[in-house]
Amino acid sequence: MRVGIFDSGIGGLNVLKEVLKKYPSGEYIYYGDTKNLPYGNKSKEELLELSKNILDFFTLKKVDIIIIACGTVSSNCFYELKKISKISIYDIITPTISYLKSLEKEKIAIFGTKRTIDSHIFSKNIEKEVLEIATKEFVPMIEEDKYDLEIIKKYANMIKDYDVLVLGCTHYPIIKDKLKKYLQDNILIVDMGVCLLDNIKIKESNNLKIELYFSKIDNTLKENIKKIIKYDYKIYEV
């Protein structure tokens, strides 16, 4: 089975990493739209246009399923993309909401991009106390591999009384350990890539093959990839 996974940049690689833990033999084709990141400040129309182009790319690659490993696209464009896609397509938000509904914990904080937070997709679908916070500085910090701990601390301090923190952007697991330094020990941190695995089945191939495509490649990107993906892969700029 050929699996297509996409995001605005390296964030979706965290989803690929989780998928590889469960399905270590398969063909994975990843697309990161680094030329157009961040997605979090783009209009829905822009997101749809960019995503349609990526769907066309995956069609040419003859993938069997597509995973939207982007919280912003999942929260704003999933249903539109599902209607037009001839390939089975999965989003990252729906399984996360299902998981949050199953929890007994009632106070849930969401960190996400501005576009994801503005959609209010979590608060509209979860009948619990939900605090949605746009953490607009996080994606640029992660992509550039330059971290301001005071900014991370500022956001962590906003959710001191909450039981659950949802990393509502697939970039954010990269700073999970940095966030934990400023959070209470008993808070449950939810990774959307892990939630996805409970809702998707992948038919494995005999051998592992990973192809990573990006719309723009630089040395920082290459170094970031090495920190996330511990398997052999080929990388291309398209």
CA distances from 143 to 46, 72, 216 (A): 21, 16, 12
* Catalytic residue IDs: 70, 169
Beta strands in the chain (DSSP E): 2-7, 27-32, 65-68, 88-90, 107-112, 129-134, 164-167, 188-191, 209-214, 234-237
Q: Is 111:167 a contact under the CB 8 Å cutoff?
A: yes
Tell me the two tokens of residue 180. Answer: 């934990």
Q: Any idea which residue has 């030329």 for tokens?
A: 35
Say which residues have a Cβ less than 8 Å from residue 8's Cβ, sequence separation at least 6.
Answer: 32, 33, 34, 36, 37, 38, 39, 70, 72, 73, 139
Give the amino acid at 67.
I
